[in-house]
Chain A
């Protein structure tokens, strides 16, 4: 019998998900919930979305057989080249979809949160494209760490507002964006950057990212004569690139779903972001999911060298994949990820984002057979991380 790992009518993946939001946000999320599937199904919307993905983002992204990497790991590895998307990562698939959604809903003002700045840049980009006002919340600490992306957002015409509360990182930037939405309930659309937040965000973002799996199926059919691989590997912070890469394979049990979390300095060190290991069921940013928290239910600070994986929760879809054992969860430390980033650079001439490097770091631990066809979602390029790589390897 076919099991479904997709969201149910209440907005849950198994027991995870839902919309745990203050009443102030109810009209906004309800408007979105009641409209998003209808709008996404409109031929006009589909046409505009697909056209922009093609002409503006540069899709389809290649599915590249990485021969030297394959030889090293001992199986057939394809890289899904999301790093070649405009702005350098998969994030823009979602922001294109959501900006079109915002227009359909008659919104004139866009807000977003960002950690490393990738989602902020992708949001600022589509706002420039559509001529919409754009405000990006970013932790004060991240603003200092990610100066080039802050400059990119400003150049694109966005206003970058520092989140000065709490730990002054992604979690706090998300809090500030949610507060902005409470304060501006009528004209504003909140473009969440990952498969997190209240229903319908996790499902909507996963659907916009599902173009990754859709293309993978078509490309594999051409390259391998079958539309599925033996395994799909992706890194998971909130989990949007992973959700997109897994999407059409969730109900196909012949495909291994492999999620790689950031172990930071190590799972036992208190400086980690491996939520599936360290987290418990709870509520974060409007969603019931697995999250890192104190025994008392206070949300704790994660750590990873990668700002994009430095989030104390995972999307509810991923929590369900973990709990149901459909997904295999594994983690990579800072050191393993950095070394994998260097390895890919020198084996294939591709410098990956540090987030993506986590997915590359575990390939030799997954017991692939020599005949296995494996797709690794190469979610982003590493230009933004050059300083971190330089400092780490003393280049």
Chain B
């Protein structure tokens, strides 16, 4: 049986995925945001599990994480908020976070919880490939949780192939050498890079993240790839206008 993520990429091109920080702007916003995103036709969602020291993120995601933590978000609380999520939400759900909170929860317990709830995949940027293969791959696979790896403009072809082999669901293409939320539009170098990776014919669909913030960058990112993720720009909109901004924000990307 193919997974929700596989089915999504089989039937759709130019997938729009949205990242938001769990429990932000209000502690109770996690589910309403998911419902609204699904209603607006978003294809997939990354739910950010907040961490105190998010090394790969810029100030926007760090700020939202700090606030979510201050309002009481924890791994356990997030799982509790999501326990009946599959009664309403059908689109693929990915949890994106850092490795330490998962390690403290217990990798096995974390994967089991994800499976129970109906989370499809997990992104943990600071869990390296070698450690995953040596210590955790068996646990993720036993629970049927897909782990998504990142590649960047500096990643060698040889390593891209290794990461593609280990990745399940899609591969996360980091658009530029930067932390999240620092994009000022894509130039020809990025578009060429998206095309170069696309031409490698990887086994996984390619989804671009970092620096996508509006219709133009979304369109550039998906010209040669299977989808794109918007995070910081969406969180900025939530910060400014609250959850009511969602329909307007999504229409702004897709028209």
Residues of A within 8 A of B (CB): 10, 18-24, 26-27, 165-166, 171, 175, 178-179, 182-186, 280, 282-286, 293, 295-300
Chain B nearest CB from A114 CB (Å) reads: 17
Which B residue sits closest to A172, measured CB to CB? Answer: B53
Assess A297 versus B178: contact at CB under 8 Å? Given A22-B56, A286-B126: no
Is the CB–CB distance between A299 and B53 below 8 Å?
yes
Most buried by B among A19, A26, A27, A286: A26
| B177 beta carbon closer than 8 Å to chain A | yes
Is the CB–CB distance between A20 and B52 below 8 Å?
no
CB-CB nearest 4 A-B residue pairs? A297-B104, A297-B101, A22-B125, A298-B52
Name B100's contact: one of A165, A183, A297 (CB within 8 Å). Answer: A297
In chain B, positions 83-124 with a C-beta closer than 8 Å to chain A are 98-105
Which B residue sits closest to A298, measured CB to CB? Answer: B52
Assess A182 versus B177: contact at CB under 8 Å? Given A20-B99, A27-B154, A297-B101: yes
Complex Cα gap A21–B127 (Å): 7
Some 29 contacts from A to B, beta carbons below 8 A apart, are: A10-B130, A18-B131, A20-B128, A20-B131, A22-B126, A23-B163, A24-B150, A24-B174, A26-B152, A26-B159, A165-B62, A165-B63, A165-B66, A166-B52, A166-B62, A175-B53, A179-B56, A179-B58, A182-B56, A182-B177, A185-B154, A186-B177, A282-B104, A283-B98, A283-B126, A296-B104, A297-B101, A297-B104, A298-B101
Q: What A residues does B151 contact at CB under 8 A?
A: 23
| B194 beta carbon closer than 8 Å to chain A | no
In this complex, the interface size class of chain B, counting residues with CB under 8 Å from chain A, is 35 or more
Name B55's contact: one of A18, A178, A184, A282 (CB within 8 Å). Answer: A178
Residues of B within 8 A of A (CB): 51-53, 55-56, 58-59, 62-63, 66, 69, 74-76, 98-105, 125-128, 130-131, 149-152, 154-156, 159, 163, 174, 177-179, 182
Q: What B residues does A295 contact at CB under 8 A?
A: 104
Complex Cα gap A171–B104 (Å): 20
Assess A283 versus B100: contact at CB under 8 Å? Given A27-B155, A182-B56, A185-B177: yes
Q: What B residues does A282 contact at CB under 8 A?
A: 100, 103-104
Which B residue sits closest to A179, measured CB to CB? Answer: B179
Complex Cα gap A166–B53 (Å): 8
Q: What A residues does B177 contact at CB under 8 A?
A: 24, 182-186
Assess A22 versus B182: contact at CB under 8 Å? Given A175-B55, A297-B101: no
Name B74's contact: one of A24, A165, A186, A296 (CB within 8 Å). Answer: A296
Chain B nearest CB from A2 CB (Å) reads: 26
Which B residue sits closest to A295, measured CB to CB? Answer: B104
Complex Cα gap A108–B101 (Å): 36
Is the CB–CB distance between A296 and B76 below 8 Å?
yes
Q: A165-B63, A283-B98 known; 15 other A-B pairs, CB under 8 Å?
A: A20-B131, A21-B128, A22-B126, A23-B149, A24-B150, A24-B174, A165-B62, A182-B56, A182-B178, A283-B100, A285-B53, A298-B52, A298-B101, A299-B52, A299-B100
